[in-house]
Structure 1
Amino acid sequence: MSARGLVSGKAVGTVLKLDDPLSFWGGFDSAGGKVIDRFHPQHGACLSGAILFMERGRGSSSGASVLAEAIRLGTAPAAIILLQEDAIIATGALVAQMLYGIDCPVVVIKDQAEWQRLSALPRLAVEAGADVVFLTPQA
């Protein structure tokens, strides 16, 4: 598997795949953990504690602060698995890790077929480090 950890950490949770990119700025409620973009296909979906699969982020650099706040509040995804690198998402998770000591690993999987296969699993454990990433199916 060709994967790279953008932000290190460990997480386990239910897999949730978004059909479209999401902007955390204006598209996500950090207080409630839900998608609030009324035009998003998963409007109303709760991301809290999920292993979130999305191809990429969308939108404003302010999304990093929204994600960091959600991580602090415990309403963020447990981990985020991307198909394309996203500096805004990585920054939000890294800031939360540095300021609050809370991990939300961010991983990029370079192979679309592998990303699709993993996004179809019901549960996943994520362990992302500087040199290695483990994505393990869970019962």
Structure 2
Amino acid sequence: MSQEKLLQGRCIVEGQVEGEALVTNDAISFMGTIDPKTGYVIERKHEIEGACLKGKILVFPMSKGSTGGSYMLYDLVKNGVGPLGIVNREAESIVVIGAIVSGLPMVDRIDISQIQTGDYIYLNATEGTARVVPKAMRA
């Protein structure tokens, strides 16, 4: 059986949250990838097309797209359909600005290959850690 993992990264936006992971290896543009009214991934052929961000810890490598994505991330959170927190391999300014204005705990420099959709994450962004409980251990 898989073991619980403590992954050390870097604090981007302080805070602590916990929830189920939604993981993709595809970059995300909050402008065009996610519907800001529903929180569903609408980009065709995106690895997590059809998934909803609401109440999840969103795990993805990096962002893509224009600066409008920062405002779209804020809209997701304001509309109550956004993620609880963000874990990145590499933080980029678009998502960082969106996380700051939205008050979303965020870390980067995390080996996201160690996390799978459905794992439970205790995200302590203030300390830069993600404690991951594998889905198999939760069953």
TM-score (norm 1): 0.83
Superposition deviation, residue 39 in structure 1: 2.9
Q: Which residue of 2 aligns with 1:53?
A: 59
**Aligned mate of 2:29, from 13, 23, 33:** 23
Aligned length: 128
DSSP-derived class of the 1:35 partner: coil
Question: Percent of aligned positions with the same letter in both sequences?
Answer: 28
> Any idea what the Cα deviations from partners look like across 1:65-100, whole Å, max 9, x if unmatched?
000111112211111100012111110111123xxx
Consecutive unaligned residues in structure 2, runs of 5 or more:
1-6
User: For residues 120 and 47 of structure 1, do their structure 2 counterparts lie closer, same or farther at Cα, with a shift above 3 Å needed?
Assistant: closer
Is contact 1:121–1:137 with CA below 8 Å preserved after alignment?
no
**Which amino acid in 1 is paired with 2:124?**
E
> Any idea what the Cα deviations from partners look like across 1:20-57, whole Å, max 9, x if unmatched?
11110111111101111113122111111111110101
Q: Which residue of 1 aligns with 2:120?
A: 123
How far apart, in 2, do the equivalents of 1:119 and 1:43 lie? Answer: 16
Q: Which structure: greater helix fraction?
A: 1
How far apart, in 2, do the equivalents of 1:135 and 1:32 lie? Answer: 26
Matching of residue 135 in structure 1 with residue 134 in structure 2: no
Q: Which residue of 1 aligns with 2:4?
A: none
How far apart, in 1, do the equivalents of 2:21 and 2:89 lie? Answer: 15
Greater displacement, 57-66 / 12-21: 12-21
**Which amino acid in 1 is paired with 2:17?**
A
Is contact 1:127–1:133 with CA below 8 Å preserved after alignment?
yes
Consecutive unaligned residues in structure 1, runs of 5 or more:
98-103
User: For residues 119 and 86 of structure 1, do their structure 2 counterparts lie closer, same or farther at Cα, with a shift above 3 Å needed?
Assistant: farther
DSSP-derived class of the 1:24 partner: coil
Is contact 2:8–2:128 with CA below 8 Å preserved after alignment?
no
Matching of residue 10 in structure 1 with residue 51 in structure 2: no
Q: Which residue of 2 aligns with 1:64?
A: 70
TM-score (norm 2): 0.83
**Which amino acid in 2 is paired with 1:81?**
V
How far apart, in 2, do the equivalents of 1:120 and 1:34 lie? Answer: 15
